[in-house]
Structure 1
Amino acid sequence: MALSRADYHAILHALAPPGRALPRDPETLWQRLLEARAGAFARLDGRADTLLEEADPRTAVDLLPDWERVTGLPDPCVTGEQTASERRDAVVRVLTGTGGASRSYFEGLAADLGYDVTVEDYTAHTVGSDVAEPLRGIDWRWAWTVRGPEQSVRYFDVDGTVDEALATWGNERLECVISRLKPAHTLVLFAYGEQ
């Protein structure tokens, strides 16, 4: 917890040597100078306190651009403005993400981006396959589908700022991020409204 201006004034006052050159009367020039210096120390101490919050990307405000620079953000898939909360979430996602190629990884990635999707993968039809299964060739084993709602809406977050939109629509960001992070040998398909 940061010390207050009064705390610093008392400390400076106690450190001053006794004597007539440095009077103790609150209306003197010396005491007003101590009061001004105490204010500067209190501001500096307060900023040092907030630096602890800035060291955590989940609570960063002033150092958020530095966190983004370190993590290689903004994501090339992001078009337009992002909310402060979305920017912080992206930094945390890059720092804590381990990557993956499973259904749960891509469903979790979409959830982190604000989308509710399911992932469906396919198998090729073989001699031992059930006759009720669709006839798919061997290339279908490399295809998978991301299924989501027809309209995806991301709403304003309480951590946002006053100049942010109350809601945004669209799936372009989801498609770009998943297409960029999918395994290179696979083909991803997107289907909306069929969830």
Structure 2
Amino acid sequence: MDLDKQYRNMVGHLLPYGPAWNKSEPILLSLALTLSNTHARLDDLMQEVNPKTTTELIDRYEQICGLPDSCYPSEFQTLTIRRNRLDSKINLVGGISKDFFLQVLKANGYTDATITNYNNDIFTCESTCDDYLYDEEWRFYWIVNIPHNYQITDMTCNDECDSSLRKWGDKQIECIIDKLCPSHTYVIFKYGVTNA
């Protein structure tokens, strides 16, 4: 049974008994139509509560959350991208762990990215000859490894002679990670590698 019919039945049942009232009175039918339209509109507004499904209130949500920010230029965003960014901004729990940053990378489409830390990789006289030459300062550095040649563009014969031989990088994910990383650390991004 559709919503209009349900409200017509409900309004009809609210009438007192007797021949004075007709259930098909135009004023009663318009009241039922108004109630069903209000009900449908409330159902629509319930979708606006969730940032993943909002349409009408997305501009207001973005204004409250400070979006679009420098990581997401406003001219290149679809509604889906705007919803996902809004959802991640509102529901971001935060953290400084490796798992947190892997979740951020996954939420932005890099499901197979890895992170390399240099906390315990200090080179000493007891290190083997194939160990990396990292000193104590490297404990403040970490690397985001983005595999499978994402965002790598090689120069072709159709490019200008002053073009770069190779370009790489995703400014958007680099901006997001740089904003979220602890202030005492430095992030290095490596593209096209599985692990550093």
In structure 2, the gaps of 5 or more residues are: 153-168
Deviation at 1:25, TM superposition (A): 7.9
How do residues 134-173 of structure 1 correspond to structure 2 at under 5 angstroms?
134-149=132-147, 150-152=149-151, 171-173=170-172
1:64 aligns with 2:58: yes
Taking only the aligned residue pairs, the percentage that are identical comes to 30
Task: Assess if the C-alpha contact under 8 Å between 1:58 and 1:88 holds in 2.
Answer: yes
- State TM-score, norm by structure 2: 0.72
In 2, the alpha carbon distance for the partners of 1:112 and 1:187 equals 21
What is the Cα deviation at residue 138 of structure 1? Answer: 2.9
Which ranges of structure 1 fall in alignment gaps of 5 or more residues? 154-169
Kept in 2, the 8 Å contact 1:3–1:45? The answer is no
Q: For residues 52 and 172 of structure 1, do their structure 2 counterparts lie closer, same or farther at Cα, with a shift above 3 Å needed?
A: same
* RMSD of aligned alpha carbons: 3.0
Distance 1:105 1:23, change over 3 A: closer
Structure 2: distance between partners of 1:47 and 1:62: 12
Task: Spell out the pairing of 1:81-160 with structure 2 (5 A cutoff).
Answer: 81-115=76-110, 116-122=112-118, 123-149=121-147, 150-152=149-151
Corresponding letter in the other structure for 1:184: S
1:67-121 CA deviation, whole Å, 9 max, x = no partner? Answer: 3334333343002332333323223322332222222221211110112311112
Give the 3-state SS of the residue equivalent to 1:119 in structure 2. strand
Task: Give the AA of the match of 2:5.
Answer: A
* Total equivalences in the alignment: 174
- Counterpart residue type for residue 126 of structure 1: T
Q: Which runs of 4+ in 1 moved over 6 A?
A: none
Q: Match of 1:185? A: 184
Task: State the TM-score, normalizing by the size of structure 1.
Answer: 0.72
- Structure 2 contact 116–144 (Cα < 8 Å) conserved: yes
Contact 2:140 2:184 in 1 (8 A): yes
Change (3 A) 1:59 1:48: same
For 2:22, give the aligned amino acid. R
